[in-house]
Amino acid sequence: MKKISSIFIVDDDPITVFGIKKMLKSAAECEDIQIFQNGKEAFDALLERHESKKPIPDVIFLDINMPIMDGWEFLDELIELDINDHIIINMITSSIDPLDHKKWNSFKDRCPYALNFTNKPLFKIEPNHLGCINVAS
């Protein structure tokens, strides 16, 4: 089982959050799992950690479509922070719009972090979601 110091789950759907937390129990050992309803809440928490030199999450599960600040806006802000830590970001979406996948590809080119794209519903936590294998470009 993979040991992870911190995980953020950023999703406004309680069923998805429940499912991710349940799957994580069998895939990872983590004492610090934070849940956020939108990108703004998550970004504010991440910024506070960054400014106070607290550990940045190792893994982020990030929904694309949320109120207040969506996943794309969160990524834009995160990239601007210039954090040097290794972060694995798992974009999760129920969208079937091919433009979302295209947008993810453009973010991969400029994002300094591992960036995965997965459609909902998640059926299991894949090794690349937690950093067990290298993410293919």
Instruction: Please give the pLDDT value at position 136.
Output: 34
Residues 82-134 have pLDDT tens digits of 888 899 999 998 878 888 888 887 888 888 998 988 888 777 777 667 875 33
Confidence (pLDDT) at 67: 93
Q: How open is the CA angle 98-101-104, to the nearest 5 degrees?
A: 150
Tokens of 86: 């290794």
Q: Which percentage of the chain shows pLDDT scores above 70?
A: 93
Tokens 């991440």 locate to 46
Residue 68 has a CB neighbour count (10 Å cut-off) of 11
- Backbone angle region of 96, left / alpha / beta, with phi > 0 → left and psi within -120 to 50 → alpha: alpha
Q: What is the CATH number of domain 2-130?
A: 3.40.50.2300
The residues near 29 (Cβ < 8 Å, ≥ 6 apart) are 1, 2, 3, 4
Quick: pLDDT tens for 28-77: 888 899 999 999 999 999 999 999 999 999 999 999 999 999 999 999 99
Give me the pLDDT at residue 127, please: 67
The identity of residue 50, as a single letter, is H
